[in-house]
Amino acid sequence: KALKKVNVDVTVVHVLIENGSGLSKNEVTGFDLEGIPVVRIDISGLLWKLTYTIYPIQLRFIRKGLKKAGINLKDFDVVHSHVIHPAGAIGNRLARENGLPHFISEHWSNLAYYFDKNLYKSWGKQAYAEAKNIFVVSDFLRTKTAEFVPDVAKLKVVPNVVPTDEFKFKPAPIGSSYHFVMAAKWNKSKRVIKRPKLLIKAVAEAAKELDKPVILSVMGDGDRVPELKRFCEQNDVHAQFYGFVDKKMMAAQFQKADLFLHGSEYETFSVVIAEALKCGTPVVASNVCAIPELINDSNGILVENKLTPWKNAIVQAIQNKYDKKTIAESYKNRFGYEEVGEMLLKAYRS
């Protein structure tokens, strides 16, 4: 969408590898998504894990899918892949055999494991070495990725897109309660990333020091939601759980919120923080990874992931009385479709 906004013709090739009946199937469908042609190559079957793991097999299926869809890559100017495994490694082979420049957008944080353990890590190394540019979403990810890129000058920071039409400032009346928002995918995992219970407990403690009651709006679905509802009840936090919401609803919540709270152990960018800031919502967030690139004294507070610092930061953020309109103005021309599209187009042309 960002490239389309700057008048670049884009065809999306969406490769889906999944379990299915029979040994293997290679089905191709084409459709239009908001004016962008999409070719979906659906590789399914009982051997789907083998196909995903063995790059040459996957490449063969994709070549067949492209031929079936009537796509000749020589008709294009650029191949742009997303994430080194497997798309970047496969995309590099397709670009090479069709004489096209290859660009990679990297969002992945598990590169050390990939370049140590993956059976086809040599394909990945070659893809990074031959790519014209490798786009990363933050300075933090640039530093993490640089270890695996022979020429670090290829690394360019291009942020994720946050739609300006939805996420923008809208004045809200002063209410009789403070309104805080949390938003994420609330799923259980072996590795702890999000810290919702820490935030809920901090809200409960901060509420004892604030001059108005607190309403906590929790956006997002996941298998932890029932557990989080119980935890809110146990800590006397008045919480409203909305489940998955669209961008319009998310923006509306930010626009009326006094604070957005984001507790995390790892972020390569944090789209949801950028969304809040574009709406003018002050942010209290964990002082980790790429988050400090978005937060400063004028728009929020960075905090250590411990209860007392979180409680104190919430109270302090309310006392700071941020200028929400000024926050939104400072982010008005950042992360939009046009801004990101121009950054990509400039890289293509160079």
In which band, very low, low, confident or very high, does the pLDDT at 159 lie, cut at 50, 70 and 90? Answer: very high
Least confident of 70-84, 90-104, 182-196, 245-259: 182-196
- What are 170-181's pLDDT values in tens digits? 999 888 999 999
Q: Which CATH architecture group holds 178-331?
A: 3-Layer(aba) Sandwich (3.40)
Domains 2-161+338-349 and 178-331 share a fold: yes
Q: Provide the residue ranges of all domains of the chain, joining segments of one domain with +.
A: 2-161+338-349, 178-331
In which band, very low, low, confident or very high, does the pLDDT at 109 lie, cut at 50, 70 and 90? Answer: confident
136 Cβ partners below 8 Å, 6+ apart?
105, 106, 107, 142, 145, 155, 156, 157, 158, 268
Least confident of 23-27, 269-273, 288-292: 23-27
In which band, very low, low, confident or very high, does the pLDDT at 182 lie, cut at 50, 70 and 90? Answer: very high
What kind and span of H or E run contains 143? helix 139-146
Residues 27-55 have a mean pLDDT of: 95
pLDDT of residue 341: 96
Residue 172 region by backbone torsions, left for phi larger than 0, else alpha for psi between -120 and 50, else beta: beta
C-alpha pair distances (Å), 156 with each of 76, 91, 93, 268, 323:
23, 19, 22, 14, 32
pLDDT of residue 174: 86
Q: 2-161+338-349: what fold?
A: Rossmann fold (3.40.50)
For residue 59, pLDDT beyond 90: yes
Percent of the chain with pLDDT over 90: 93
Distance of CA 32 to the CA centre of its chain: 23
In which band, very low, low, confident or very high, does the pLDDT at 350 lie, cut at 50, 70 and 90? Answer: confident
pLDDT of residue 22: 87
- What are 279-315's pLDDT values in tens digits? 999 999 999 999 999 999 999 999 999 999 999 999 9
